[in-house]
Amino acid sequence: MATWFTSDTHFGDPRILRIDRRPFRDLPSHDAALIANWNTVVLPDDEVWHLGDFALGPDNDAVAALLASLNGTKHLIIGNNDGPGTLAAPGWDSVAHYAELTVDDRHLVLCHYAFRTWNRMGSGVIDLHGHSHGKLKPAPRQYDVGVDAQGFAPVQLATILTSRRHKAAPQKPAEP
């Protein structure tokens, strides 16, 4: 079982193409590409921590269908655009505003928002966040796991930790 991180998928949100200039011709192409990218890397028994802004819409049946189409056991760290339909949808293993966990012997603090300071940061704890869509200046031990910053797919901790050392060429998003 692998652990993956992602954020700011904004499924079903037409604003995302305009505001963040995502490279998709329309919203159905955007959503289909993000689903395909997710299911290419995440296996059914893997664990995914989604750090907020999963989907737009009050319809928890649509969100439930979307969640069912995505591989893995899914945890939601609530973002500012996650409404009642997203929060109440079946398919989440957990829903919270904040979490701390250990992955690959590294202690992590998870929140939708980037922190200026966080629990045990002086002891090497890593802060993973979303919300900023890859637009914040990097800070030590703080990483944006949002799709805009991570090639439009969930990523593992090892990739996150090396992302600043080896700046790879941006991935071309999958098209349906």
Task: Give pLDDT, residue 168.
Answer: 42
Q: Which DSSP string do the residues of 5-52 spell out, in sequence order?
A: EEB---BT-THHHHHS--S-SSHHHHHHHHHHHHHHH--TT-EEEE-S
pTM of the prediction?
A: 0.90
For 38-65, the pLDDT digits (tens) are 999 999 999 999 999 999 876 778 899 9
How far apart, in Å, are the Cα atoms of 143 and each of 21, 77, 118, 127, 176? 21, 15, 13, 6, 29
Which CATH superfamily hosts domain 3-162? Metallo-dependent phosphatases (3.60.21.10)
Residue 174 scores a pLDDT above 90: no
Task: Give pLDDT, residue 21.
Answer: 83
> Which pLDDT band holds residue 170 (cuts at 50, 70, 90)?
very low
Element (H, E) at 98: strand 98-103
For 131-154, the pLDDT digits (tens) are 987 777 888 888 999 999 999 999
Residue 127 scores a pLDDT above 90: yes
Could you give the percent of the chain with pLDDT greater than 70? 91
| Domain ranges across the chain | 3-162
Averaged over 113-127, what is the pLDDT? 89
Task: Give pLDDT, residue 58.
Answer: 64
